[in-house]
Amino acid sequence: MRIPTYRAYTLSNLDQIPQISSLSARQRRAIEVVGRVLPFKTNNYVIDELIDWTRVPDDPLFRLTFPQEEMLDPVHFVRLQRALSTNGHERALRRIADEIRLMLNPHPAGQLEYNVPSLAGRRLPGVQHKYRETVLFFPSAGQTCHAYCSFCFRWPQFVGMNGFKFAMRETESLVAYLEQHPEVTDVLFTGGDPLVMKTRILRRYVEPLLQADLPGLTSLRFGTKALSFWPYRFLDGQEGEALLALFRRVVDSGKHLAVMAHFSHPRELSTPAAQEAIARIRATGAEIRTQSPILRHINDDADTWARLWQEQVRQGCVPYYMFVVRDTGAQRYFGVPLVRAWRIFKQAYERVSGLARTVRGPSMSTTHGKVQVVGVTEVAGEKALVLNWLQARDPDWVMRPFLAQYDEQALWLDELVPFNSAGWEFDPGAGEYDRNLAA
Ligand SMILES: *Cc1c(COP(=O)(O)O)cnc(C)c1O
Ligand code: SF4
């Protein structure tokens, strides 16, 4: 297979995208305006192998990385467009973009403050420990991606706003923390995308975990969208080989290695490069589990999800989560109401065999845990939504279903009303995004 050289495209070299001339002036303008607020980066693989340029701008894979006018509030869009067309100063433009960005709620419900553990009284800023068994780790060298999803709420990490960056240079304090927390079975490397790191850097993070005496640690996971955005990461000569060798080392050490792959659309599984990469990863003994949010304009129909799960199973991947997106970034553009998300999930789930029914969802990641929309039922003649905790800060809540009043419009838990007049015992106003949402 011919491996192309990685080439990133951002606002600064938009003109060099060969297919860009097929866009109308207005579509192009929209990229330039909206790309000031939402991070825009795509690459030659996404452009040449994933996007169907005959269907642009409606193509789901185009929308996945290219900003669209409708992703911003019209008032914000006009304000920024005006500043741009009057040749505003770079600094003034940046200030407007920052203001809009802050209004888009970069870290819902104080994510920066929650779940950051301490070690000997010192906070560990690159670590998040929310659920007893699993620690999230944000290696500082992995805080970017091979391309950016236009819906991604992690953009504060990419656009260089001070203080927003989760980072940790050393694995040492993570190891020390794990030594004190034998209840932790899983370390999940996340980002950004930890697989943007060169293998020798990644090895520096992983090997101390294998060498340390951590008998309780059974599983390492890498959250990644590299299989969708740059599958050559696993195929490219020495770098690819070295990464697969590292995977084998983890497996040979007796630990479970899970690649938590973010796939939003079946087309991402269709290219020869993606299929070859999946096969090579599986040959190392690593498992590939898959997850994605449900997104309006990209994958909000049952047929797409059924095909997505079936194709994953065919290639030996294990469907894992369908997530719900919440109010940050361009949620109004991408948001799917909970009832509709459940209906799509159900219709897709009905159509696939048990091998694909390992998937769980639709799931909201809230301050208190992951809440699944189980379905719609009737209690004493009244329609109700059944919800369930898949994960909870308090493990006792897990698998305790609860009820909300039926609501076709609600996009998130905090818009639902408890079915019982006594209310619910958690504070639904607080909401938090799942750092494990995607990559
Ligand atoms: C989803 C998630 C995890 C992992 O949960 P699993 O159900 O074990 O996959 C860990 N930490 C946070 C904060 C999460 O949102
Ligand atoms: S969803 Fe994942 S791959 Fe996409 S931009 Fe966000 S962190 Fe990167």
Residue 134 near ligand 1, beta carbon < 6 Å:
yes
**CA-to-CA distance for 57 and 176, rounded, in angstroms?**
50
Q: DSSP 3-state assignment of 418?
A: strand
CA-nearest residue for atom 7, ligand 2, is 192
CB 135 within 8 A of CB 190: no
Atom of ligand 2 nearest to the CA of 145: 8
Q: What is the pLDDT of residues 302-359, one digit of tens each?
A: 999 999 999 999 999 999 999 998 765 666 789 999 999 999 999 999 999 999 999 9
Q: What is the pLDDT of residues 233-285, one digit of tens each?
A: 999 999 999 999 999 999 999 999 999 999 999 999 999 999 999 999 999 99
**Burial zone of 13 (CB within 10 Å; 0-12 exposed, 13-18 middle, 19+ buried):** exposed
Q: What is the pLDDT of residues 151-185, one digit of tens each?
A: 886 655 665 544 444 444 578 889 999 999 999 99
User: Which of 185, 170, 248, 250 has the alpha carbon at shortest distance from 211?
Assistant: 250
Q: Identify residue 357 by its one-letter amino acid code.
A: R
* Residue 238, CA distances (Å) to 198, 232, 233 in order: 11, 11, 10
User: Which of 361, 356, 360 has the alpha carbon at shortest distance from 336?
Assistant: 361
Residue 406 C-beta-side C-alpha neighbours within 13 Å: 10
Average pLDDT, the chain: 89
Among all bound ligands, the one having the nearest atom to the CA of 114 is: 1
The pTM is what?
Answer: 0.93
Among all bound ligands, the one having the nearest atom to the CA of 260 is: 1
Give the tokens for residue 380. Answer: 């004493």
Q: What is the pLDDT of residues 98-139, one digit of tens each?
A: 888 888 765 554 455 567 888 888 888 788 899 999 999 988
Q: What is the pLDDT of residues 146-157, one digit of tens each?
A: 999 998 866 556
Atom of ligand 1 nearest to the CA of 390: 7
Centroid of ligand 2 to alpha carbon of 16 (angstroms): 23
Residue 130 near ligand 1, beta carbon < 6 Å:
yes
Q: DSSP 3-state assignment of 405?
A: strand
Atom of ligand 2 nearest to the CA of 39: 5
Chain centroid offset of residue 182 CA: 28
Render the burial of 122-158: b for 16+ CB within 10 Å, e for the rest. eebbbbbbbbeebbbbbbbbbbbbbbbbbbbbbbbbb
Centroid of ligand 1 to alpha carbon of 249 (angstroms): 24
CA-nearest residue for atom 6, ligand 2, is 152
| % of the chain beyond a pLDDT of 70 | 89
Among all bound ligands, the one having the nearest atom to the CA of 224 is: 2
Handedness of CA 54, 60, 62, 67 (dihedral sign): positive
Q: DSSP 3-state assignment of 249?
A: helix
Atom of ligand 2 nearest to the CA of 223: 2
Query: Pairing state of beta strands 134-137 and 127-131?
Result: antiparallel
User: Which of 130, 155, 182, 6 has the alpha carbon at shortest distance from 71?
Assistant: 155
- Tell me which of 42, 145, 325 to substitute to probe ligand 2's pocket, judged by most ligand atoms within 8 Å of the beta carbon: 145
Centroid of ligand 2 to alpha carbon of 148 (angstroms): 6
Domain positions in the chain are 8-102, 118-438
CB 226 within 8 A of CB 234: yes
Q: In this structure, which topology does domain 118-438 adopt according to CATH?
A: TIM Barrel (3.20.20)
**pLDDT value, residue 202:** 92
Q: Report whether pLDDT(421) > 90.
A: no
Site residues for ligand 2, CB cut-off 6 Å: 145, 148-149, 152, 154, 191-193, 225, 262, 438-439
User: Which of 197, 204, 196 has the alpha carbon at shortest distance from 174?
Assistant: 204
Q: Where are the beta strands (DSSP E) in 86-125?
A: 118-119, 122-123
Q: What is the pLDDT of residues 24-41, one digit of tens each?
A: 999 999 999 999 988 899
CB 259 within 8 A of CB 222: yes
**pLDDT value, residue 154:** 67
* Residue 258, CA distances (Å) to 141, 197, 229, 286 in order: 20, 17, 18, 6
